[in-house]
Amino acid sequence: MLFESASGLLQTPHGCAEQTTSAGYANLVALQFARTGGISSAAMEMRALANINMTRDALPAFQDSDGGVRYWHEASAPDIGVTAYALSFLTDAAAVTDIEPANRQRLVDWLANHQNLNGRWSTGDTESEFRQRQSLLLTGLVTRSWLPRQRSGLKVPPAVFAKAFQQITQSTNDLGEPYLLSPIHSCCLGVRQ
């Protein structure tokens, strides 16, 4: 049932990049759950892998020439959050299928090039309290998308990561998001080892 639902997401029109990525993640999580739980079915595994590969193959249609991922195939600018989400999926999917490291590195580079001078990522004016909170959450999303990526050989510029980490640590108490810093802090300890 889990695989039928996940597969159904990919059999319907893809829609936007976020929906496409979510469909691939559903299959990836189902496959990992089956493997971890000792559930063995060649048909189930083939179906999940086929759907993961469909997502992998569909994502380039959403990318611009610099590597950023748009919500829609055309007529939209690349989005920071969607690009970070696609990077997370492709890196996690690399554990079960072939994903070109150069394709993932393009996403990392695009994200690094779109960081603000203050170390955050934002989607607009950051003057209002709401926009500042949104910017910090987006910064956390991008930073978390890089955590296991450094261990998988992708190159995240240290200064870019350090500026983002500094912004998050300075603002976590004010933000009221206690879990924003936890995975990032764990990664930083692991990276230093």
Q: What is the pLDDT of residues 160-173, one digit of tens each?
A: 888 988 888 877 66
What is the pLDDT, as a whole number, of residue 185? 46
Based on the fold, state whether residues 31 and 121 are members of the same structural domain. no
What is the pLDDT, as a whole number, of residue 153? 76
Residue 11 pLDDT > 80: no
What is the pLDDT, as a whole number, of residue 191? 41
Based on the fold, state whether residues 34 and 124 are members of the same structural domain. no
Based on the fold, state whether residues 6 and 68 are members of the same structural domain. yes
Give the mean model confidence (pLDDT) for residues 54-68: 93
pLDDT tens per residue, range 137-160: 888 889 888 776 556 778 888 898
- At which of 69, 88, 114 does a domain end? 114
What is the pLDDT, as a whole number, of residue 158? 86
Based on the fold, state whether residues 109 and 14 are members of the same structural domain. yes
Cα–Cα distance between 126 and 134 in angstroms, integer? 8
Based on the fold, state whether residues 109 and 123 are members of the same structural domain. no
Based on the fold, state whether residues 24 and 98 are members of the same structural domain. yes
- At which of 114, 146, 168 does a domain end? 114
Give the mean model confidence (pLDDT) for residues 35-61: 89
Helix and strand numbers, DSSP H then E, in the chain: 8, 0
Cα–Cα distance between 32 and 173 in angstroms, integer? 34
Q: How many structural domains compose the chain?
A: 2
Give the mean model confidence (pLDDT) for residues 51-58: 93
Based on the fold, state whether residues 73 and 153 are members of the same structural domain. no
What is the pLDDT, as a whole number, of residue 193? 33
- At which of 96, 114, 132 does a domain end? 114
Q: Are the CB atoms for 143 and 164 separated by under 8 Å?
A: yes
40-49, 54-63, 120-129, 138-147, range with the lowest pLDDT:
120-129
Nearest 5°: phi and psi at 80?
-65, -50
Nearest by Cα to 60 from 80, 83, 27, 92 = 83
Cα–Cα distance between 134 and 152 in angstroms, integer? 28
What is the pLDDT, as a whole number, of residue 156? 85
Based on the fold, state whether residues 121 and 175 are members of the same structural domain. yes
Residue 75 lies in domain: 1-114
DSSP reduced 3-state for 117: coil
Q: Are the CB atoms for 6 and 19 separated by under 8 Å?
A: no
Burial of 11 (0-12, 13-18, 19+ CB in 10 A): exposed
CATH number for position 68:
1.50.10.20
Based on the fold, state whether residues 146 and 107 are members of the same structural domain. no
Based on the fold, state whether residues 133 and 77 are members of the same structural domain. no
Q: Copy the structure tokens of residue 5.
A: 């639902």
Based on the fold, state whether residues 21 and 108 are members of the same structural domain. yes
What is the pLDDT, as a whole number, of residue 137? 85
Give the best-scoring range by mean pLDDT among 4-8, 71-75, 174-178: 71-75
pLDDT tens per residue, range 76-124: 899 999 999 999 999 999 999 999 989 899 999 999 999 999 899 987 7
Based on the fold, state whether residues 100 and 122 are members of the same structural domain. no
